[in-house]
Amino acid sequence: MLQKLYSYLNVLIMLAIVLIINVIAGFLYLTFDLTEDKRYTLSPSTKQLVRTPDDNMVIRILLDGEFPAGFKRLQTAVRDKMLEFRRLNPNIVFEFEDPSSGTPEQITQRRDQLAEDKIFPIVLSYSDGTQVVQKPVYPFAIIYYNKKKFIVNLLEEQLPGDDEDEILNKSVALLEYKFANAFQRILADKPKNVLYLTGHGEWDEASSFRLESEIRKFHRFQRVNPDTLMKLDSTIDLIIVAGPKSPIPLKDQFKLDQYIMQGGKIIWLLDKLEVSMDSISKYKFYIPPDIDYGVDDMLFKYGVRIRPDLVLDLECSTIPQVVGMAGDKPQTRMFSWMYHPVVQSYSDHPIVRNIDRVNMFFPSGIDTLKTDGEVKKTVLLASSRYSRAQLSPVRLSFEILKVQPDPAKFNQGNIPLAVLLEGNFESYFKNRLTPEFQEVLNQLNLPFLESGRPAKQMVVSDAEFMQNLVKVSTGKVEEIGYNAWERKYYKGNKDFILNAVEYMLDEHGVLESRSKEIKLRLLDAVRTKSERTFWQILNIGLPLVFLLLFGVIYRFIRKKKYTTA
C-alpha cells in the first residue's frame, strides 16, 4: 500500500513540475536563434526603435483564421515578430483579428471601415483537400500610437508572372524591415522633406509619377526650381537631381555645394550622352551628343567622374526588330541590345543587397577619384564581367544586331555605374569664392563653409531606369522597371531607387533589416494532400505511444526493484 502511495506521489510531483514549467513559459518568451539565416534575430536598429515607445502602442493584425501553408507561414512569422517586440517592450500590445468573421452586418461594417483607410482584400484561392476555397484576405497590420495611425502591408505586391511562393518568401523576409520602418515613421516628430530639382530639363511629373507617389506615402515631396530659393538649408532632407538636359547655373551649384557642406544628401541621376531609340530608328545611325549639365567639375571635386562613353554588356535586355514580312504583316524577333545592360550589385551594401537586377539604358562608366576630404566610395552597381565601353563620339545603329558579338572583346568588366559617396566633402568653391557669392552669404548672415559635416551623395550614370512608362492611348502609368518591349518588370529598378531614398533619409539604420535573406521552406502541396491522414495520425499518435511506452517501462522498473527488495 505504501509503495503504491509512493508511486502515485511521484506521478503527482512530475505533473506539478510540468504544470509549473508551463505556467512560467506562459509569462516568458525566450528563443534561441539556431537558424542559418538568423531569421529570429532582430537588428540593433530595430531593437532600439521597438524599445522607444513609452506609452501603449496597439497593433491590429488582420491575419487571423485558417490559411493554406504559405499564408500560414506568414501568419506565424508575424506572430513571432510581435512576441519578440512585446518581450523587448511591454508597451507594445498586439491582437489578431479576422475581418471576415461575425454576422453579415458586422463583416460589411468592418470592411467599409477598412475601405476608408484604403485597405482592400485580396482573394485567396486554395484547396482545403475537398474543394477549392475562395477567401478574402487582409494581409495588413494597423499601428496606433499617440493619436497616430500607420498601415503596414504585410504582403509584397504581386506583378504578372510572379511566383506566389517567391512573393510569400520575400514578404516573410521583409517583415522586420516593414515594422521597423513603420515604427520609425510613427515615432517621428515630422515627415522628411524631399526636394526634386527642376528648371534644367529634368524628368517631368508624368515620367516620375511612380517615384513621387512612393515617396509621398511617407515624406513630403516638392518640385522646386532652385532659382526660386535663396538657399538650400538643413530643412531639406534630400535632393533628387534626375536627368537634367541643360547646364545647372553656377549660382545653383553654389547653393547645392553649401547644402552638402551642411551635411545634405543628394541623389544624382545623370545621363552623359543624349540617346534615344527613336533617334536611331529615324536616322538609321545616330551619333549622340554630350549632355552639358554643368556639374562635372563639382562632382570631380567630390570624388567621381562620369566618363563620356557608353557601356555595352552581353548581359542585357532585348528589343524587337523586323526580320521579314508574312503577307502584309511585319514579322519581328527579339534581339539582345547591349546598350541596355541588366546589371547587378557586387556589394553587400543595404541599398543593393538581395535586390533583383536593374535594367539600365545607355549608361556610362564612372571613375572614382582621390579627394582632399575623407570620403568613402562604394560601388553599388556595375556591369558584368562581359562588358566594355565605347568612348564618345559613338556611332549607334541597329546594324550591330546582325553581328554575333565576340565575348573576348567584352573584357573590361565590372565598370561602375552607380557609386555612393559618404563622408566629409571639401567645398568645390574653396579658394574660388566670388565677391557676388560672398555678398549673398552676407545678406543671409551665413558663413562660407570650406569643408562640411558628414554628408551623402549617390551618383548614377543613367536617369531613365527610374522612369515609369505612360501609355499615351490609355493614360495608364506603368510601374518603375516595366520594359514595354519585353513586357516584363525589372523589380530591381524600383527597389534600387527607393532603397537609395530610404538610405539617405534613414537615421536609425533601419534599411539594414531589409537586407536579410530568409529562405521559405514550403511544404510539398501534392504530398501534403495525399499523405495528410498519415501525418495527422503520426503527429497525434506517436507522442501517445511514447508516453504509454514510458509508463510501461517505468512501472516495470519500479515493480522489479521493489519486488526484488
Mean pLDDT of 28-56: 73
Average pLDDT, the chain: 86
State the CATH class of domain 191-514: alpha beta
In sequence order, what are the residues at sequence separation of 6 or more whose Cβ sits closer than 8 angstroms to the Cβ of residue 225? 197, 198, 199
Q: Distance between CA atoms of 124 and 69, rounded to whole angstroms? A: 12
Please tell me which residue, 343 or 44, carries the higher pLDDT value. Answer: 343
| Residue 45 pLDDT level (bands cut at 50, 70, 90) | confident
Q: In 174-272, which residue ranges form alpha helices assigned H by DSSP?
A: 175-187, 209-216, 250-261
C-alpha cell at 331: 514579322
Beta strand ranges found along 314-405 (DSSP E):
316-326, 329-343, 358-359, 366-368, 374-382, 387-391, 396-397
Of 297-301, 406-410, 432-436, give the range with the top mean pLDDT: 297-301
Q: Distance between CA atoms of 426 and 450, rounded to whole angstroms? A: 6
Give per-residue pLDDT as tens, 94-111. Answer: 999 999 888 888 889 989
Which residues of the chain are in CATH 3.40.50 domains?
191-514
Which element (helix H / strand E) includes 25? helix 2-27
Q: Is 467's pLDDT higher than 90? A: yes
33, 40 in Cβ contact below 8 A?
Answer: yes
Q: Taking the C-alpha atoms of 542, 546, 547 and 552 in order, what is their torsion angle to the nearest 10 degrees?
A: 140
3-state per-residue secondary structure call for 263-330: CCEEEEECCCECCCHHHHHHHCEECCCECCCCCHHHHHHHCEEECCEEEEECCEEEEEEEEEEECCEE
Place of cell 552597381: 381
For the domain 38-185, what is the CATH code?
3.40.30
Q: Is 520's pLDDT higher than 50? A: no
Q: Distance between CA atoms of 226 and 197, rounded to whole angstroms? A: 7
Q: Distance between CA atoms of 341 and 335, rounded to whole angstroms? A: 13
198, 222 in Cβ contact below 8 A?
Answer: no
In sequence order, what are the residues at sequence separation of 6 or more whose Cβ sits closer than 8 angstroms to the Cβ of residue 223? 195, 196, 198, 205
| pLDDT at site 33 | 54
C-alpha cell at 458: 549617390
| Residue 522 pLDDT level (bands cut at 50, 70, 90) | very low
Q: Is 31's pLDDT higher than 70? A: no
Q: Is 517's pLDDT higher than 90? A: no
Which residues of the chain are in CATH 3.40.30 domains?
38-185
| Residue 512 pLDDT level (bands cut at 50, 70, 90) | confident
